[in-house]
């Protein structure tokens, strides 16, 4: 994705508190346990076990998951589309 910036994405994730549910490398606190740990996310090939792991899909998913994948329990998060692209970029840096 052009212009997406992983470093900015990490800050966005820290700010809105994604780590309340996920343990995320690069975010020291909290290390939530409600959702899956995100270490190694880049290597997975499905988002939430169902969606193709593509940047555009991932960016839409982290911003408004229920819209992209009806029935998912991951909630919509208060971030802009641009921030969502940055978050996706950061997630793709998370090697196993």
| Site of tokens 């690069």 | 26
Binding part of the chain for other proteins, among 18-26, 36-44, 45-53, 80-88 by CB under 8 A, reads 18-26
CA distance 78 to 81: 10
CA distance 96 to 56: 22
Work out whether 44 is an interface residue with other proteins (CB under 8 A).
Answer: no
CB 32 to other proteins: min, Å = 4
Work out whether 36 is an interface residue with other proteins (CB under 8 A).
Answer: no
Judged by CB under 8 A, the residue of 4, 9, 18, 68 near other proteins is 18
| Tokens (6 digits) for 59 | 């960016």
């Amino acid at each position: 994705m052009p212009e997406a910036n992983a470093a900015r994405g990490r800050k966005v994730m820290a700010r809105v508190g994604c780590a309340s549910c996920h343990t995320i490398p690069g975010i020291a606190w909290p290390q939530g346990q409600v959702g899956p740990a995100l270490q190694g996310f880049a290597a997975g090939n499905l988002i939430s076990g169902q969606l193709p792991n593509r940047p555009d899909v991932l960016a839409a998913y982290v911003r408004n998951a229920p819209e992209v994948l009806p029935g998912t329990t991951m909630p919509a998060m208060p971030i802009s589309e641009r921030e969502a692209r940055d978050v996706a970029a950061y997630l793709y840096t998370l090697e196993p």
